[in-house]
Structure 1
Amino acid sequence: MLPAFQVHLHQPILERVAQVGKFDGRHPALACGTTAGKVFIHSPNENTFRDNSESDESEQNSVRFLKINRKVTALAAGKFEAADQGDTLVVGTQSSLLAYDVEKNSDIFYKDVPDGVSAMLFAPAPRAASSVNSPSQMVVVGGNCSLQGFGRDGGELFWTVTGDNVRALTVNDVTGHGRDELVAGSDDFEIRAFQNEEVVFECTETSRVLALTAIKKQMFGYALQNGTVGVYKGKHRAWRVKSKNMPTAIHSFDIDGDGEKEIVMGWSNGKFESRRLTNGEAVHKEVLSSPVAALVTADYRMDGKEEIICCSADGEICGYFTATGDFPAPGSSSTAATDKASQEEKEVAKLSKHRAALQLEIKALEANQAGASGATAGKGLRIRADTNIKVRSLASKTATNFELELCTENDAVIKMVVVFESEAGIFEGESLVVRPATMSPTVRIPLNLNKHAAARLDFKVLVGSRGHHTSFHVFECTFKLPKFAAFHHITGESAGPQTTPEGYVRFITPVKPQQMYSWIDNAFVLAEAIPESSQAQLMFRSLRDNSRLNISITPQETVFRTDNMELAAELVQHMCAFLEWRELESVAEFPQQMEEFRNLLVRVDESNAIRLKLTGEMADDSNQVKNLIIRVEDSRILNDMSRMRRFYSELFSLNNQLLGEYTKRSTNHQALLDALKEVNSMIQLAARLRFGNAKSTVIAACRKAIKNNNIHALFYIVKTGKEEHQ
């Protein structure tokens, strides 16, 4: 496919740092982050759009630069109000946010953002609208474990916490309730959808989320660091594909003119392709000379037709419009005939492929039989008709790994086991191969469960008869791994004297005890069934660190006792989701974590004090630099070389001092970022100990306490989930 236009701006473009906006209210312009802390704006339409035949030198005249003097990490273009004349360009860096009026060449607001800016977009402000048709907008900033929303004046309109650094943002109606949610992807492999501060949807992927794009209602695309690109339809994944290369950008665009959008992807190897939303089938593919940096859509040529604009890392910009003429109109007889023929061709190709596979299998069997004696050949493939693979978990009070045992239950032996799991990311490479040293009817598979995740394990087991090592039967079976399989159920005499954990979360039992038992049976691997009674005491041991988990259930109250606050939060969230419980308040006490939290807040205060001190010293040194430069210039004019040398020597020493101060500031800034990330993580854990509106209440109350520097109130909120005056 030939591009509609192609220009080379000879300016590097940073990954996913590109936006199109009508900054003068009429003409679309492309803003991209580049090296040396700059943003360049390509405005080809302010005079006349230049076609491909014109020189690159003429294109350089359409480029303007905005110097930020800090590494640009994200860009956004949009209007805070529908009545605004032109779009506002918002530039994010590692520690600040700048809203810039391109036409007036002036700042709208500047904001220090200690959590940093790694993703950004314009979205409707919560509970604020100038009218029904023109809601107020805010710029949403994803940073270090947090999401913040800022209005036109730089005031904070929205704040909530996430599990890790936010890398991607989009707006989409994921739940289908008719209201758009803010969808965020983060470094903890999570994709979350927020309705105001409440998480209404959450799913775990297999790698860091790099990019998200809204496609249509209840449908969005995602890209992961491990080379996976896919589409979610509502709360369920529709399909995904995986490549050895890394996706750098994704977008949605109707590139083949069939009236339906495709998901368009750019890759680190320069590949630019589009796939159908229904099944991921490739529609268009080509390879550019350099990695794809960003993908945006706009009517860039102002001819009434929207293009998908592909920005390369080396500064090349290619625009592709929707194909016309090559595709029949939807609904026509030719379209139906073409679709039918295409479907028949696919079926024939599928059957041919299956036939070829069967032929290869027959040839392999014939070759094995020909290589063996007649007597052996007749017996080599024979195993008992009742052969079956049974999978069960093994319980041991001294085990350090979760173990599964596969058994044939007769004299047939197992040659090899291949385990597949692609949803939860339990295995690196999505599979595990186990080949025992000696073939036997029983094979044990130790699983190192590094995270709590429910998973479906698919097994392919090679089974043969003793004394025959060339031909095997392949058996397939599955095993459902519970979310908290990494905990061993301690029962009876094996329990012995146990140390009761100091930390706990306590709440009113939301349902009947029998329903709670059903949840426990679903979430854990139990050594024995829970007795039918109105109360239960369960004890578990972690296979990872040997820590204890006690669960106490009565008709009035349920208590999770553990010294791991994160584990308690996961238990609460999984329980509420399984029981479909919408609201849960709790009281929590975790002495060890709260003491660490207290020390953490002290570190934040110390880092802030050091930051202010270093900033003041830097300002004083900067003024001295200005004075010395003036004196050096005066000495040069007066031809006083001795004084000029002395001033230059002082300037050199002062410059080295500034470099040293910068190193201190940089180190302190990183320490502050790390501390703030831990603070945000603690707030999120405190919120996850509750469910529903109680969860949102904790986040809002913690934010208020932090703004007021009320540390005592912060501890009270984490413990009770409520503000002190309530």
Structure 2
Amino acid sequence: MIVQSYNFSLKYDIIMATSGKLIGDSTSLIGYTSIGSILLFQNNTSNFLNVKREFKSLGVINQCLVMASENTLTVHDVENNFDQCFIEVQDGINTLAIGQYYNGDSLQELIFVGGNCSLQGFNVQGEEIYWNVASDEVAALCVFGFDNENYIVIGTTDNCVRLLRGVDIVFQFNTQSLPVSFAGIIYFDQTYLLTGMENGSIKLHRQQLELWHNSEDQEKIFKLICNDENHFIVGRRNGQIELRSLMTGQLIQKLNLDEQLSGMLYSDLRGVGVNQIIAISKQGNVRGYTVVDKDADNLNLSQSRILTELTQKKQELMQQMQLDKMPVGLDLRCGFQKNYTNQCLNLVFILSEPGYYITQAIIFHDTYYKEGYIVNNPQPSDKLFAPLKQLVDNQKVILNCKVFVSSNPHGNYFLILETSPTFPKFANFQYVEQDLKISSFVEAKINERVPRYVKWIDQCFNINEEVKKKFESTNEFIFNTINIINQQKLQIHFDSKEGKVTIRCDSIATCGDIIQDLCDFIQIQDLMTVGQFPVEMQEFKKVLEAVQQHKSSKLQISGDVAEAMNLVKSYIVKAEDSRMIGDIRTMQKMYANVMVQNKAIQSELYKKKQNNDILMNNLKEVNAMISNASQLRVGNAKIAITNMCRNAVKKNNLLTLIEVIQQGREI
């Protein structure tokens, strides 16, 4: 349980807080105040760093204070009062985390920053050691692990969570709400990852397996802290602190501070040798809590009693169903069928025995059907068709379905059959007999037998047995498909004789998804591919040209603003000189010029903001294209492509960038 250890006030409103060792061996509490200063609280003494700048994140690395603003990163040596480094981050900074990174040779502590579709890691000297692409703007970031087993977790605004080990993706999943906080622990060689979302729900994954999901709508998650292998701490924006079981997510204890949180840390502020939970409110009140193992037996007894009551209630309901002579033991089959009217696939439920009727089905999924998708059968029969309009992405989806069955089409008692059909990853691509003409392609050298290819197609696409048998009897075949939603064409040519697979599609993202899934199925660890994407490259050239244009505009606008500010200074000096000698007419004229230049500066700054917004969107598209290009390769080739693209962008070499994306080599 959670026991309060201390309580004091910093006497200033706190916007954000962190902790770490800055001076000597004592831990400092660092807070960014509402008056724009950094407050340092150490050994019951408060001091200030009068920085007078706006910051988004704070951290501590190697006894230096890390301060992150919207586009800059400052590492400040507090004890010697000088800046170790000052870094301009072009992709912007949304969130910051300090953690260790193992590059294969050595272990070093880095400052990780998440921005506009990118993740960067800097050492204390300001050198960029790590860079990776994110699927969207980074909203949450966490680094955990020990020795050479270190992990990076990123959550992006497209509700995607990725667990990285170095630059490699260990696994990823989507959430139904924006991920805002993570906590991780490695226990008996198993990686446990807690994800807190904006809607207040929490998930726990062990490796790729989701162990539980607490989907209760509560206050927004502020911070998750995993203090041991049995419990974790939840801090919510409204000041609510919860102690929960790690393995079940069950609430053990809840405290209400009646104040909004601005910081929640896990640190030894008092120097007692034990880390404690430190809760800092926006009003500057600091409370310390210790987690102690007490009353565990009573809690387990209470949980056991609740479980017994629920089990008894379930048995009573089952008995009532038997008394009503409801049908049992029915065989329910599921499948997928084209729906050209709604341009999607139908999930089809079929009863194998006559005399029973499907009246309704409810489909659940954490992302697509969180509240439940209810499908009513207009005329109850042994079949029910449920259009799956929301499933538009190339994602494998496991649906949880409850199907209501009755022996009477107008009855009031139902047997609920549960089933969990899997929507294949590329099910929306439907097989067609016609030969498709597609100009874009990617080619890979893969030596594999045709039956393995057919098995992969059967797993990832929606095909029938006749098509499977047709392909299995050949050494080479072409698999033509058209997406039922957007009419996108996809052709895959499998040639076992030449050891070659050619994927034709005008979408580089779709080709990347195919490559990654196929290699994962065949267990290929390293693969280089070459291709041509004339349609997408034509549009990408326009994006690159726009980036250059807006970068030039940014420099020009900055120059115009600087020139106008110099004019303002000179006009003010002349106006004051005129006032001192009594030349009131000239003074009025100079101040009128100041007003004109001030309006001009405001106009230029507005243009600068608009130009920067467009530039950020274009850079987001560039990073997305680099991510898609890396998805066309696997293993070391994937890392090499990302690095070559990054170098080409830094050198502003557009032709090399396009060559790397398509051919995997530099000009």
TM-score, with length taken from structure 1: 0.83
Q: Answer whether contact 2:39 2:49 (CA < 8 A) is retained.
A: yes
Q: Does 1:242 align with 2:228?
A: no
Q: Answer whether contact 2:3 2:291 (CA < 8 A) is retained.
A: no
Q: Answer whether contact 1:536 1:552 (CA < 8 A) is retained.
A: yes
Question: Partner of 1:369 in structure 2?
Answer: none
Distance 1:485 1:12, change over 3 A: farther
Distance 1:322 1:342, change over 3 A: closer
Matches within 5 A, 1:199-238: 199-217=169-187, 218-238=191-211
Question: Partner of 1:197 in structure 2?
Answer: 167
Number of aligned residue pairs: 655
1:347 to 292, 304, 317: 304
Corresponding residue SS for 2:658: helix
Question: Partner of 2:645 in structure 1?
Answer: 702
Q: Does 1:529 align with 2:467?
A: yes
Corresponding residue SS for 1:26: coil
How far the C-alpha of 1:206 sits from its partner, in A, is 3.4
1:572 to 515, 527, 530: 515
Corresponding residue SS for 2:418: strand
Q: Answer whether contact 1:215 1:261 (CA < 8 A) is retained.
A: no
Find the aligned partners of 2:612 and 2:175 in 1 and give their Cα distance: 31
Describe the superposition over 1:663-693 as per-residue Cα deviations: whole angstroms up to 9, x where unpaired. Answer: 1111111111111111111111000000111
Describe the superposition over 1:186-212 as per-residue Cα deviations: whole angstroms up to 9, x where unpaired. Answer: 223333233433334333333332222
Question: Partner of 2:136 in structure 1?
Answer: 164
Corresponding residue SS for 2:537: helix
Q: Does 1:76 align with 2:64?
A: no
Question: Partner of 1:123 in structure 2?
Answer: 99
Question: Partner of 1:334 in structure 2?
Answer: none
Give the partner amino acid of 1:123.
G
Q: Does 1:402 align with 2:341?
A: no
Distance 1:303 1:641, change over 3 A: farther
Question: Partner of 1:297 in structure 2?
Answer: 266
Q: Does 1:656 align with 2:599?
A: yes
Q: Does 1:114 align with 2:114?
A: no
Find the aligned partners of 1:118 and 1:631 in 2 and give their Cα distance: 44
How far the C-alpha of 1:582 sits from its partner, in A, is 0.5
Question: Partner of 2:39 in structure 1?
Answer: 41
2:364 to 397, 420, 431: 420
Find the aligned partners of 1:672 and 1:502 in 2 and give their Cα distance: 30
Find the aligned partners of 2:307 and 2:620 in 1 and give their Cα distance: 51
Find the aligned partners of 2:326 and 2:163 in 1 and give their Cα distance: 54
Describe the superposition over 1:481-521 as per-residue Cα deviations: whole angstroms up to 9, x where unpaired. Answer: 1111112222xxxx34x542221111112422221111111
Find the aligned partners of 2:104 and 2:422 in 1 and give their Cα distance: 46
Give the partner amino acid of 1:486.
N
Find the aligned partners of 1:616 and 1:396 in 2 and give their Cα distance: 58
Question: Partner of 1:317 in structure 2?
Answer: 286
Moved more, 217-226 or 698-707: 217-226
How far the C-alpha of 1:150 sits from its partner, in A, is 2.0
How far the C-alpha of 1:633 sits from its partner, in A, is 4.4
Q: Answer whether contact 1:29 1:41 (CA < 8 A) is retained.
A: no
Find the aligned partners of 2:418 and 2:290 in 1 and give their Cα distance: 47
1:553 to 494, 505, 509: 494
Moved more, 595-604 or 283-292: 283-292
Corresponding residue SS for 1:678: helix
1:88 to 60, 64, 78: 64
Find the aligned partners of 1:202 and 1:268 in 2 and give their Cα distance: 26
Question: Partner of 2:397 in structure 1?
Answer: 455
1:613 to 538, 556, 559: 556
Distance 1:476 1:589, change over 3 A: same
Find the aligned partners of 1:126 and 1:703 in 2 and give their Cα distance: 21
Q: Answer whether contact 2:230 2:247 (CA < 8 A) is retained.
A: no
How far the C-alpha of 1:456 sits from its partner, in A, is 2.0
Matches within 5 A, 1:354-373: 354-359=311-316
1:645 to 568, 588, 595: 588
Find the aligned partners of 2:455 and 2:284 in 1 and give their Cα distance: 58
Find the aligned partners of 2:134 and 2:151 in 1 and give their Cα distance: 15
Give the partner amino acid of 2:539.
E
Find the aligned partners of 1:63 and 1:273 in 2 and give their Cα distance: 32
Q: Answer whether contact 2:185 2:192 (CA < 8 A) is retained.
A: yes
Moved more, 688-697 or 268-277: 268-277
Find the aligned partners of 2:160 and 2:249 in 1 and give their Cα distance: 22
Q: Does 1:103 align with 2:79?
A: yes
**Structure whose residues are more often strand by fraction:** 2
Find the aligned partners of 2:490 and 2:320 in 1 and give their Cα distance: 56
How far the C-alpha of 1:266 sits from its partner, in A, is 1.7
How far the C-alpha of 1:639 sits from its partner, in A, is 5.6
C-alpha RMSD of matched pairs (Å): 2.8
How far the C-alpha of 1:34 sits from its partner, in A, is 5.4
Distance 1:397 1:124, change over 3 A: same
Q: Answer whether contact 2:212 2:248 (CA < 8 A) is retained.
A: yes
Question: Partner of 1:252 in structure 2?
Answer: 225
How far the C-alpha of 1:152 sits from its partner, in A, is 3.1
Give the partner amino acid of 1:322.
V
Q: Which runs of 5+ in 1 are unaligned?
A: 50-60, 80-86, 328-337, 367-379
Find the aligned partners of 2:158 and 2:562 in 1 and give their Cα distance: 39
Question: Partner of 1:67 in structure 2?
Answer: 52
Give the partner amino acid of 1:537.
I
1:179 to 142, 145, 149: 149
Describe the superposition over 1:349-391 as per-residue Cα deviations: whole angstroms up to 9, x where unpaired. Answer: 312222234446767998xxxxxxxxxxxxx7455x6743222
Q: Answer whether contact 1:169 1:184 (CA < 8 A) is retained.
A: yes
Find the aligned partners of 1:202 and 1:510 in 2 and give their Cα distance: 28
Distance 1:248 1:654, change over 3 A: farther
Q: Which runs of 5+ in 2 are unaligned?
A: none
Find the aligned partners of 1:626 and 1:276 in 2 and give their Cα distance: 63
Corresponding residue SS for 2:438: coil
Corresponding residue SS for 1:437: strand
Corresponding residue SS for 1:303: coil
Distance 1:625 1:224, change over 3 A: same
Question: Partner of 1:484 in structure 2?
Answer: 426
Find the aligned partners of 1:346 and 1:578 in 2 and give their Cα distance: 42
Give the partner amino acid of 1:229.
I
Percent identity (aligned): 24
Q: Answer whether contact 1:75 1:120 (CA < 8 A) is retained.
A: yes
How far the C-alpha of 1:2 sits from its partner, in A, is 5.6
Q: Answer whether contact 1:628 1:647 (CA < 8 A) is retained.
A: yes
Moved more, 583-592 or 4-13: 4-13
Distance 1:33 1:667, change over 3 A: farther
Describe the superposition over 1:102-152 as per-residue Cα deviations: whole angstroms up to 9, x where unpaired. Answer: 3344322222212001122233455498xx7xx543322211111222233
How far the C-alpha of 1:31 sits from its partner, in A, is 2.9
Distance 1:306 1:552, change over 3 A: same
Give the partner amino acid of 1:189.
N
Give the partner amino acid of 1:291.
Q
Distance 1:398 1:363, change over 3 A: closer
How far the C-alpha of 1:466 sits from its partner, in A, is 3.0
Question: Partner of 2:654 in structure 1?
Answer: 711
How far the C-alpha of 1:563 sits from its partner, in A, is 0.9
Give the partner amino acid of 2:266.
T
How far the C-alpha of 1:704 sits from its partner, in A, is 1.5
Distance 1:526 1:34, change over 3 A: farther
